[in-house]
Amino acid sequence: MKASVRAQMSQSLNLTPQLLQSIRLLQLTAPQLEMELRQALDRNPMLELDEGDEAGEVDAESPDASDEVAYEAAAWDELPDPQFMSGMSGGASMGDEDATARIAGGVSSDWRVRLLDELRLDWKPADLALAAWWLDRTADTGLLEGERDALTAEAAAELGADPSALEIVRLRLLHGMWTGLCAVDAAECLGAQLDRMPDCEALSTARSIVRDHLATLARHDSKALASAIGCSIDVADRAVALILSLEACPVPDAPSQGDDHIVPDVVVRKLGGTWRVSLNGRTLPKVRVSPHCEAGLSRAPGDVSALRGLLDEARWLVRGIAMRNDTLMRTTQVLVERQQAFLDQGEESIAPLTLREVADAIGMHESTVSRITTGKYIQTPRGTFELKRLFAVRLEGAEISGAAVKAIVKRLIDAEPPHAPLADETIAGLLARQGIRIARRTVAKYRDQLDIAPARARQRPVAMAAAR
């Protein structure tokens, strides 16, 4: 065995405690930030409440949003993306851990991010990249948005991956912790869940129903179901009960965060024909470095290193809050500017908008925009909602967002004749007349997301419709 010495150069990013604090402040929600500030006031005598001005809304022209703050905000913009956000792409290894991933944060409202965050503990980076691709093509119902073979061919061309490797990853998701995810159809989703159940008398019958007789099951006709399978009605009923115990949608709800009340971080209103954005300063205590303590410390004799450490901590906290507010204000201004039509006219006018477009507009990275918009709420004349709602995915092949199309679908269904409801294919035809070409299954997907029943279930007799 031959021993050798090899020199190797590498780059690494070391995060200072101050920068880690700034990143954590960036992603705190309003209630979390209020608790953080009150705890800091209790433990640090160098901080005090700023009661010089009445707390209120801070406009975009506030002197707090200085050039110095904007310059220092770029410090966290140099950070790499967390690996689960990038799908483990770029050849990064598990050893190249993103230091920001060690910062405690809230649970994401996106189930895809939550699942990838769990899988990254055990899965290889290459498999995670393929899993992220499949999840991006999976609807909120847990089923694939398209034909499996077509999606596999698209992934093979886009990622350069072997089709068999893609199918293996899909099957791992299908039979993984959220059993039934990434299924081709409802039969495969339910079948995967049955495969994990303990053996019982009704299990084989339930598999047969799921595989070949879902349409008969939907009619709730036990006699026809038993006849089609060749079993007794009692056995068919037990199999049906077993199927009804399964999850129709394998995507679980986000875990509760404990405190469900909403505090808006920013307020937007229309004044003089212009949309104005302001920070909601009424919800947070305003803190500053105590000028008396700072002046007294400069003249204090002896060893005051401990007090100087508290003073530095207070300065960094005040500066970090200013950086957070500046980034939140700039991001919200861009969102409001790009979505003025939505604020004026409603859901049907929401424009396609991505994290990258906003990040380019404010000169920061996508990860910064993602952190500052997660868990932050905006109060508008149209209601209070999360900032992330102002982002919208562009509908493929069109200059309109999927959210806008969903709103149009809801309007068409709300205005349909009660005795002659619109079928999904008819709605797709009406949208095509407006230049929006989408498939019937896409209309069905939007209708399911709106919790609207199919046309047959919405139909009411003429006499009942007249009575209403």
Q: Is the pLDDT of residue 331 over 90?
A: yes
pLDDT of residue 397: 59
Q: Strands, E, within 52-140: which ranges?
A: 57-59
256 burial (CB, 10 Å; 0-12 / 13-18 / 19+) is: exposed
Arithmetic mean of pLDDT, 411-429? 87
Each residue's pLDDT tens digit, 204-218: 888 888 888 888 888
Residue 86 confidence (pLDDT): 36
What pLDDT does 443 receive? 87
Q: What would the mean pLDDT of 114-135 be, rounded to a whole number?
A: 88
Q: Is the pTM of this model over 0.85?
A: no
Q: Is 91 exposed, middle or buried (0-12, 13-18, 19+ CB in 10 A)?
A: exposed
The pLDDT tens digits of the residues spanning 339-378 come to: 998 888 888 888 888 888 999 999 988 888 888 888 889 9
The C-alpha angle 24, 28, 34, rounded to 5 degrees, equals 115
Which phi and psi angles does 296 have, rounded to 5°? Answer: -65, -35
Cβ-Cβ contacts under 8 Å for 441 (sequence gap 6 or more): 424
Between helix 203-212 and helix 233-244 the angle, nearest 10°, is: 80
* Averaged pLDDT of the chain: 78
